[in-house]
Chains A and B, each alone.
Chain A
Amino acid sequence: MVASQYPGHSDIFALPVRDRFLLYAPLHALSALLNPPALTQLSRALKTSLRLPPGEAVSAILQRLRQPGIPTPQPPTGALAPIFLGLILTRGCRMACRYCDFVPAHVTPRMPLELARQAIDSYFDLLVSQGQRHAEVHFFGGEPFDAADIVHFSVAYARLRAAERGMHLSLEAATNGFYSERLCRWIASQFDTIILSLDGPAEIQDSLRPDAASRGTSKIVERSAHIFSDSDLTFHIRACVTQDTVARLPEIAAWIADEFTPDLVCFESLTPSPRSRQAELRPPDPWLFAQAIYTASRILDPLGIQTVLSTANIHNCQASFCPVGKDVIIVSPDGMLSSCYLLEQDWKSRGLDMRLGRIDGNGFEIDESSCQHLRQFSIHAKSRCVDCFCRYHCAGGCHVNHPSNVPPATYDDLCVQTRLVSAVNLLKDMNQADLVSQFLADRSAMERLARQPTDRLEALQ
């Protein structure tokens, strides 16, 4: 909790948007556009217990802000209560995306069937001991369906266990879509949610996401996307955006809208890796990204397809961006338990320890101190984000690849991108399409908002 001049109202932010201010109180789910005198009036009134006359424009806002909002997002407390079980069946992948460090499928160990069964048994035992009625299993990789036999066993076995215990089961997988039609149809019949990596039309997909023999993958992956579109599962497309593809986001969005029917399209900036540097691929320019994703959303939104940047989801308040800090149990092929699905070497190289424990013949062995340690990975430990209006949405982003123990408001490109897209999303929710267009066409206005040293209303002069 950040000390505030406003008794009981610490998280109220004000962002400059051309000649007005966007007032935003995430914990009150309140946003409003105010001119500078109205903002000053509101700020003064919040510092006192004064009431404004009912006719005053800001009195309704003031009244709302004086009501309690939702509680400040906090890490979980008490006994470990995983929101899902993650299974990393293999770290390998038959594709060879130019920005990805996954290793070829044949050189990496797969999770033994016995270990997959033990993980499912231990997870259900934990849920039953806590009186939970809903189980959720997510499959990660590498490419999980490159270990299709383990998925076939695990899905059927989890269903068997859920039915025996009278529990509801949800299944989700993140996948490259590069497999046979028969396997794809089975996935579509069994899973509740599929997140398919697909970067765009054939020219883009084949260039960025070839197979291990440098052949294009678009034909097969598009066939999978059609199968998922035609099924009743929740279907997300995740497109990685580079400096070369950012200007083409509207074209990519139009192509997706023409070809498929996803529920959601997630555009994510490339995360630099040794392989992406070797391929001379770079993340997109954040200013261009904010403009392009807005144009893409104007194509997808009317079709009921959500356009998402994961760090700019303004409809969700959270203390941590990812599974870390949310008590998620992710099982690696070797039996290590963590809440982070990145490679152990990735977090170790940053001096971080994301281990939660191990699984053996007796089930989960979870170290209580490790559990408490992982719960500390939250927005409340991120100095960079102290005064940022996105703090409860982005929550500082990836704990490994986006370290945030830097001075407040040290905003890098990822922050700039998140701040711009979040502000635009707030304005979109207020039906301010004209203002958004003007704002995104005015680089100095975007700079003022993105570079503002503190967003807190109380700090505004």
Chain B
Amino acid sequence: MRAQGIRILPGIVWVEDRSQTIIVNENAVSSRVLTGYEGALWTWLTQRYPYTRLLRFSRLALHCTATKAQEQLLCTLQEWQRLGLVELEVSNG
């Protein structure tokens, strides 16, 4: 399974500084602080890298196999989708 397209949803704003990323969901009036791998992934996502590049960055950053990196990446993206931060277009390809 892989995410073909990833879109940050309208109403999501964020502030990235040198130690953390704060994401505010204006629709749900909620916020979330991202650090560690989640913070790194949000940085790359906001720079509009495609899924394949996110996967490569993740594999390198997590020092793991492509399969493990894919699991971790999808898990994080799906959690963000559940929170209403992103919209994923997932395929089984």
Q: When the two chains form their complex, are residues A159 and B53 in contact, meaning their CB atoms are under 8 A apart?
A: no
Q: A-side binding surface: helix, strand, loop or mixed?
A: helix
Q: Does A60 sit within 8 A of B, measured CB to CB? A: no
Interface size on A, residues (CB 8 A): 21
In the complex, which residue of chain A has the Cβ closest to the Cβ of B37?
A: A160
The answer to the question of A192 belonging to the interface, with a C-beta cut-off of 8 Å to chain B, is yes
Scan residues 129-150 of chain A and give those whose CB is less than 8 A from a CB of chain B.
148-149
List, in ascending order, chain A residues with CB within 8 A of B56's CB: 113
Distance, CA A157 to CA B47, complexed state (A)? 15
Chain B, Cβ-Cβ closest to A189: B16
Q: Are A186 and B47 in contact (CB under 8 A)?
A: yes
If the complex has contacts A149-B53, A152-B43, A153-B44, are A160 and B36 also in contact, measured as CB distance less than 8 A?
yes
Say if the beta carbon of B83 comes within 8 Å of chain A. no
| B47 CB, nearest partner CB in chain A, Å | 5
A interface footprint on B49-72 (CB within 8 Å = 1, 0 otherwise): 100010011001100000000000
Select which of B17, B35, B49, B61 is within 8 A of A157 by beta carbon: B61
Distance in Å: Cβ of A31 to nearest Cβ of chain B: 38
Is the C-beta of A114 less than 8 angstroms from some C-beta in chain B?
A: yes
Q: A189-B16, A190-B16, A190-B18 are in contact. Are A153 and B60 (CB under 8 A)?
A: yes
A182 proximity list for chain B (CB < 8 A): 47
Q: Is B39 among interface residues, defined by CB-CB distance under 8 A?
A: yes
In the complex, per-residue mask of A177-200: 1 if CB is within 8 Å of any chain B CB, else 0: 000001000100110100000000
The reply on B40 being an interface residue by CB < 8 A is yes
Dominant SS among interface residues on chain B: helix
Give the distance to chain A from B59, nearest Cβ to Cβ, in Å: 10
User: Is residue A117 contacting chain B, with contact meaning CB distance below 8 A?
Assistant: yes
Chain B residues 60-92 with CB under 8 Å of chain A are 60-61
Confirm or deny: A433 has a beta carbon within 8 angstroms of a beta carbon on chain B. Answer: no
Residue A406 at the chain B interface, CB threshold 8 Å: no
**Interchain CA distance A148-B56 in the complex, whole Å:** 15
Known contacts A189-B16, A189-B17, A190-B18; decide if A163 and B36 are in contact (CB<8 Å).
yes
Nearest-neighbour CB distance to chain B for A117, whole angstroms, equals: 5
149-171 of chain A: CB within 8 A of chain B: 149, 152-153, 155-157, 159-160, 163-164, 169, 171
- Residues of chain B having any CB pair with chain A under 8 Å: 16-19, 35-37, 39-40, 43-44, 46-47, 49, 53, 56-57, 60-61
Instruction: Give me 30 A-to-B residue pairs in the complex whose CB atoms sit less than 8 angstroms apart, sorted by A's number.
Output: A113-B60, A117-B61, A149-B53, A152-B44, A152-B47, A152-B49, A152-B57, A153-B44, A155-B43, A156-B39, A156-B43, A156-B44, A156-B61, A157-B40, A157-B60, A157-B61, A159-B18, A159-B19, A159-B40, A160-B37, A160-B40, A163-B35, A171-B18, A182-B47, A186-B43, A186-B46, A186-B47, A189-B16, A189-B17, A192-B18
Q: Could you list which residues of chain A lie within 8 angstroms of chain B, going by C-beta atoms?
A: 113-114, 117, 148-149, 152-153, 155-157, 159-160, 163-164, 169, 171, 182, 186, 189-190, 192
Given contacts A157-B61, A160-B37, A189-B18, 4 further A-B contacts (CB under 8 A): A152-B57, A156-B43, A156-B61, A159-B39
Nearest first, the 8 closest Cβ-Cβ pairs linking A and B are A156-B40, A156-B43, A189-B16, A117-B60, A157-B61, A153-B57, A152-B47, A160-B40
